[in-house]
Structures are given as C-alpha cells and as structure tokens.
Amino acid sequence: MKNKALVKFIVMMVICLLVGMVGGFLAAFLGDNTSPAALGDLAAIVGFYGAPILSLLAFLVVLGIAVPHFNQAKQSAEIWDGDDEEIIDDAENKLNIALIASNTGFSLGSVLLSVFICAMLSVVDKGAVPRNAVTRVFVIVGIGVYVVNLIFSVVFQQKILNLIKKISPEKQANVYDSKFESKWMDSCDEAEKVIIYKSGYKAYSNTVKVINVLWVCSVFGAALFKIDGWVPIVIGIIWMTLIVSYQMEAYRLEKH
C-alpha cells in the first residue's frame, strides 16, 4: 500500500514537472513571437463580448433547473401528510438541486462579472472596441444580468428556506439575518451537523487544489500576459489563510 502511494505521488510529481516545462516553453515561445500587449488586447476583447453572453446563458440555465425543481418540491410538501417519508425525501432532494443550481449560477455570475469588468476597463483604456450602441448593450447586459442574478439568488434562497422551515418547523434561521450560519447550526440535529462538517472539509480540500492550480496559472500569466504581479500574491495570501486557519482551528479543538 505504501509503495503504491509512493508510485502515485512520484507519477503526479513527474506530470506536474512536465506540465511546468511545457508551460514554460510555450510562455517563452509566445513571448518571443507574440506581443504580450496583443495577447492581452485579444483576451480583453473576448472577455468583453463573451462574458455577458455566457452570464446570460448561465442565468437562463439556472432558471430552467432551479425554478421547476423548487415548484415540484413545493407541490410535494403541500400534499405531505407528515408520515410518508418518500414524499418528503423527494421534496428535500429537489430543494437541494434547486439550491445547488442557484448558488452555482450566482458564483459563476460573479466570476463572469469580474472578467467583464476587467476586460471593459482594459478595452476602454486602449480603445480596442468602438464606443457605439452595440458596446453599450454589452455593458448593460454584463452588469444588468449580474444584478438580476443577485436579486434572484437572495429571494430564491429565502423561498427555499421558508419551504424547509415549513417541512421542519424547528429551523429558525433567516437568510437576511447577519447571524444566519450560527442560528442554522443551532437548529440542526447531530446527523445534519455531521453532513455540514464533512461537506465543509470536502470544500476545504477542493479549494486548496483549485488554489494550487490558480497560483501556478497566475505565475505563468504574470510572465506571459504581463498581468499584475499582485494576482499570484493575493492568491498566495488566500492559500496561506486557508491552510493556517484550518491548522490553528484543529489545534484549538484538540486542546479542548
């Protein structure tokens, strides 16, 4: 078992080394044969026109998934007699799908808004796109879709929470409450808390992996596209905060 784990680790290190070498070669090649400014302008133009379209499409997909599942869950909750576990399990499953869709859509919308704003500032400063009616439409769509997505996300999650409270009256938390997380935890039973703890650790583990990739990409980006050197620094600070806060909390809990 130990030898198998060691081989797997070595293979992963070799793959990472090869990827780094290929990335470095491409960065050097493109740097010698392509203007970083030209690449940056192209990326900004693609982001300016692409982000609003993707944001709108993503929001429509979220609506197509979240709203029908919520309505089906609501119908199941209304006919529930308090005894049939299959009905309520089906309702809770559909609520979870609706919540996942809503949260994913809002997170993706936030990322696309960031891309759009950075691209917009870049193309405006350099005059890479003409200032006409089409440009204004993309600005309105890029910002407007995010605002609508934000409002929908907050209101929709409150509707989901209200339905959960109808199914489980012991739940007392409110989305608009600044202490929502602590009150929600207080209203959860032990089984629900275990699920939250395990989900939290899984989120932590996946976030560390993503941050590793983002940090490497940001370093190459800083060299290839001449992006702000603060980007890998900020990602590194987030990475360090995540690791240190986890370790410190684990240490505190072990002492008590």
Q: Give, for all 256 residues of the chain, the pLDDT tens digit.
A: 545 655 565 666 666 556 655 555 555 545 554 444 555 566 677 777 888 888 899 999 999 999 999 999 888 888 876 676 788 788 888 888 898 888 888 888 888 888 888 778 777 666 656 677 777 888 888 889 999 998 998 889 888 888 888 877 777 767 666 677 777 777 777 887 888 888 888 888 888 888 888 877 777 766 666 566 567 777 778 878 888 887 787 778 777 6
pTM of the shown model:
0.68
Q: Backbone phi, then psi, for 136, in 5-degree steps?
A: -65, -35
- Three-class secondary structure of residue 80 per DSSP: coil
- Picking from 43, 46, 48, 57, the residue whose alpha carbon sits closest to that of residue 114 is 48
Q: What whole-number distance in Å separates Cα of residue 233 and Cα of residue 96?
A: 36
Q: What is the CA radius of gyration of the chain?
A: 23
Q: What whole-number distance in Å separates Cα of residue 50 and Cα of residue 29?
A: 27
Residue type, 129: V
Residue 17 is predicted with a pLDDT of 58
Residue 87 is predicted with a pLDDT of 80
E-assigned strand segments in 90-141: none
Encoded tokens for 97: 């799908």
Residue 214 is predicted with a pLDDT of 80
